[in-house]
Structure 1
Amino acid sequence: MNLQQLEGISDELDLIYSLFAEEMLQSMHSSDYIVMTINPQYNDSTSNMRVTEGLSSFCENQSIISNAFFYATFSEMVYSSSRTVMELNAFPRRDVIHRYMEQEDLPGIYYQREKSWRLFSYTPTQVYLITEMTTPVLVSLMFCQLDLQGLQDLILARVNLPDSEISVYNEEGNGILVQAGTPENVNPMSLQSADEEGMFGDYYYFVSEETGWIFLKPMGNMMGSAQVPFLIRTLPLILVVYILFSIAAALYISRNVYRPIRYLMKMAGSTSAIDSGNQNEIDYLNLVWSRSHEEREAQKRIMKEVSDDVVKQLLRDLIENRLDSNARIEDTLNKIDMLELIQGNYIVIIFSMVPPSDRTPNSVEMALYSRSIEQMLLRKEEAPYRIYPLTLRENALLGVISCDRSVSIARMGSYCDDIIAFIQTQVKDLPFGLIISKGRICQGLVYLTYSYQEALRDIQYQLQGSSEQENEGKTTEEIIYRARYYFREKIHRIMNEAGKGNRSEAEAQLALVCDEIRQQDYGRKELLELHEIAENEVTERMISRGVSSKELGQFMDKYDFKELEEKEDLEKQMEEYLLAAIRLISRDSRKRRYAHVEDAQSYISEHYQNPDLSLQEVSEYVGITSSYMSVLFAEVTGKRFSEYLSSYRVSMAKEKMKHADLSITQISVECGFNSAQNFSRVFKKLEGSSPIQYREGVKNREKE
């Protein structure tokens, strides 16, 4: 018995488990199992009998399986090889299912394993082979309890020795099959510290990469020269015994390994080819395995496509105001395990195609153009953003862009601008015009319709400008520039100046814009629309600059334009509103950012010893986004957050080296470094010398 034989036993068991698991999965994908899995109300006595009979037959045909049961998570029903069907709460082995579910944290999550099976030790004497079905949430489990006596017989047949003294332990080191002369339990960590791989103390050992099981055997006495004559005399007997046991093992493997393989072949519909002898079992095993893998991957792709289709239909219903309650939105997303979409940031971009003036494209041509824009959108999709293209009509497409709340408004707006610029560049050579408009960024899926309505109004303004071109003799660009974009661009520049702290410059530019508005013959409707543009720019700028939701709400509540009727009152209040916004944003730029950085520095001084201290944690304490905090640190301190934190930790380490008799390792831990090596690297980078050299220099200066 040597290490190669231990490894051979492990590999053979892994192969047998894989074959059993594939047979279990084939059963779980049959129609009876599928119906009971996806339909909690389904209850058919004939189907129940077929399932339980199949489980019973499976146990009878496998020498190392003592019993089996199937658990459907939606209906919480258990089907047992003892030919019984009952609810989980009444099932005698329900604790096994509960323990496994709690240990794996399975319910309601999207999850994927690297292999289709695993071994689960409920107790050292109760070990289960488990396969799982996901769609992509967990929907069913099949448990097969291993017969430990059959497992031991299989090992003995493999090594051809009745007293092999091979002990088997699970991944936690608890004994499953413990022979005389070996310990009851082993410590897996102690095996890693062994001086020589495969040898630990007086034992050979091998750890399975698939299951984590540990195989252990005593080394025994080394063979000296005095034993050689005895071996020569007994060699013929040993050879005979070896041949007999080899034949027995071959028959055993043929019965218990190749029969499941042939069963898999039949499941794949290859019986005629098997009988003809054109291919061997290994070829067909590879064929069945590849087919099963491809089917699972295809199922996952289908489920993702279905989830995307559900989200797109939900977005379409929201935009068209066909959803009557937020509860319905939440219920729909919960069913496809995408509930996190409710809390994200959203924006709508509309792309309206303008046909060439000399001809009218047919529907097929317009559909191809729309499809090309959709592909351009998807090409720009990157983490942490999601893009959902939706077709409005034959010549119009919209893209819904979403991201997590942790992404700043300014960053999301910049990403949308990049998308628009990219598509404008790509379509310039296509034979149609393209009008693009984006709505406001809204926080929360339920407010998506507001972003859509604003983008739609923008498109309508631009299309109206195109129709007025012939009547008034103006270009489309001039009409759009005066009607909407001129004002938006001006307000955007004014808020930029305020954000830089240039309050006087921002106020001067605002005075010029207000004078231009008074000179125009705008009615109440046009002034309200201009106010909405200004409100969107101000809101996005305040959120991106870290103004709290409470302060923003209080600011907005002071101004109610819809109650004003007179043109002069609307113009006056708009100017007051924008002046107040400039004061608030510029005050934030000059004072608030210094206060934010001071709060962050204070928090760092109290928590720098925590090696997991992060920008996100400090930002949450201060009350602003991590991206904004990163910008503030660079502006105020001249350093990035990580640079400042490292510099502060090194400064504290220098103080400890001057006044504390601690080792370099102790100092690195107390200053928040995750290792002494990392501490030395950072210290040398900032100070130009290693910590040891610095400490020696301090001691030399003290002696002088």
Structure 2
Amino acid sequence: MRSKLLIGRNPILIQYMLPYIAILLIPLSIGWITYEQTVHMVKEEVVKSNMTLLEQSKEILDRRLEEVENFAHQLMSDSKVVSFQYLKDPYKGSNTYRIVETRERLKAYKTSSNFIFNYYILFKNSNLVLSSNSTYKLVDFYEHFIQPQSSDYDSWYEHYLGRFHHREYLPAQPFQFSGNPYSMVTYIHSLGYPNYFNGVLMVLIQNEEIKNLFSGLDTSNGGWAYIADEQGKIISFVSNNQQVAPINFNGQLEQGVIERTLNGQEYMITYTTSKQNQWRYVVGQPSHIVLEKVHYLKEITMNFMFIALIVGLAVAAVLAYQNSRPIKKLVSMITERYEGRYSLSESGGTYGFIQNTLATLFKSNEELRNKIKEQVPVLRGILIENLIKGGFKTEKEIENILEHVGMSVHGRRYVVCILDLGPFDIVLNEDILNAMDEKRVMIKEILSYYLDGFGFIHDIDQDKIAILVALDLDDDEKCRVHVNQLLGQISEEIRHTLIFHPFFAVGGIYDQWLDISLSFVEAREVLHMRSKGINETILWINDLPNTGESYYYPVDLETRLMNFARAGAKEETLKLVQELYRVNFVEKHLSRAMLLLFLSELWGSVVKLVDQVNVAQTWEELRPFITGLRESEDPQILFSNIEHALVVMCEEVNQRKKSRNVQLIDSIIEFIQSRYINPDLCLSTISEKFQISEVYLSQFFKEQTGINFSDYLERIRMDRSKELLASTNMSVYEIATEVGYLSSNTFGRAFKRINGLSASAYRRSLDNPR
């Protein structure tokens, strides 16, 4: 009586009971289905499941292949790639620069997709292979990186470069890359035309990514699945025994199910065809395996049907009561929170009530997210990331970028702090990630409030935020005190608001923009040391114990050093080298053996630079220093030799760059003087002609001539117009057209603005001199 009364007074419990009762009726209904009907149903389900998965796999792969072909089209249409394929002597004169320039352009096409393993462009004329991060000769590329196990070099060369390929996919085959085996599907497309081609683009697609599309298919007990192209060649397959033969589908529809006898065994084969490229997606399963599942399903159903019926009602009552309690509490909490704003009866029941409430919350949350997005400009994020990670080569480059994006960094000194939000050593799911995102947004709001225009924040990891603080102080100790006070306030606010203890890793204080990345590297070193047992809320790089166990030459600093040297930034290179000297020779108490290891790695960077920038003359000049590195026993002398080598290299790079700049500006000026009468002449026209960006062209032109491009072009047109006004009887309209203006009004305004009088008045002044 009490339970009936409880159910009658609890509509939420009734709503939970009904689904359980409905579920209990399902086994009873299944028990009355005949065996033949069960067979038919299961077959349909297997076919439907297979077909659904095949269709999904087809759609996914079609999109991926379309991305590959679009990626390939963009890459082959690039002007640098088109120009490079005609290059026959890549190491002659300035052609070497074209190798570097083309490879730099390829970096813009670097993809983060796991589907594409890598891509390479094989050029016949230059006998080179280029990718986004490497350059090889064809034979070296074949022997050491991507050597198919089943062909020699001549066969490989003839297959790839001896004939024309048009959007061709090669079946999966074993490859060796850097000594490791891989299975790759290769997309190849020739550069050029069928009767005239100069190379081929080779995109390597990981076969495992394609095979993963079949992960939901049951290929056990003799089952298999494969993808075949329009000619019937198997591109990729999944099978336990590794033996799969293509099925002949002559006369069949584009998709369906057929039964075939293969090797004396009946198979049920499901297939579909891509309309995009006519590839077939096929899965085959032994028929008796499918029927075994039917028998097993029937047996299990009949055995447990009655047990489930008896126990089900009791379990349903208990589960319904337990599951309804949280919902009931939630409804009660919402009702109390909104003080009767929502009514359970007016909202269409329990779920309608919760749905209306959640809809309001979601709307508020979406508005909050949109406001947050508006406050985080993309350009500022990119700039801050490059500042802290050393993406710039010179101070001038940073100034130009800041001016271009309309952004200023106030302060005379800079320090980078890393806020550690972790540890996150749990399995991440969508709910946890959403909670982490909300937590990070709240922390960013706190940081923005306390930084108040004198700092910037940037996400560097899921659980770490970089903070760039600009300080308007001269003394290092005052800067340190100010930063400690600031981080202390932020830490206290985070503890109070989010109830967790943050950790701040702080790098060194520097007065140059280029050194901001050094501060970031030092802050990351602090994080590493903290993970070894140092437990502080705020920890500076100078507070770390000096163990002297190993030398200081992180990968980030090596990358920056090589970037500076390649750019010919002599002052920045020397400054970075002196920083390495200070840390390794002064601050750390390294053994002589450890110093020699450090110097050996530093010299290795110099050797790599000589090879990358192709400074053969510098290499001859540095040969005496190689002997010094082998014979000298004084690390100080070794370091001085390396420093001198870097200086010599920077000077030669600058000399080469200066020579190229003179040639380039002369060519640009000659181009302007020959085409200034064209009204459409602009920065875009010249940048397209000389294959350089408009931003760089504008900066380069002003640096070389001391005048803006637009002012220079206007000066040429004005000088020519004054010559025509003085020496001819041409009308003002004819002269305007002759010097590159679309209308006489535009010409007249420009002439008066520059010369102080109209064109007609200027001509009269020549006829009637005072």
Smaller-chain TM-score bracket: 0.3 to 0.5
Superposition TM-score, scaled by structure 1 size = 0.33
Superposition TM-score, scaled by structure 2 size = 0.30
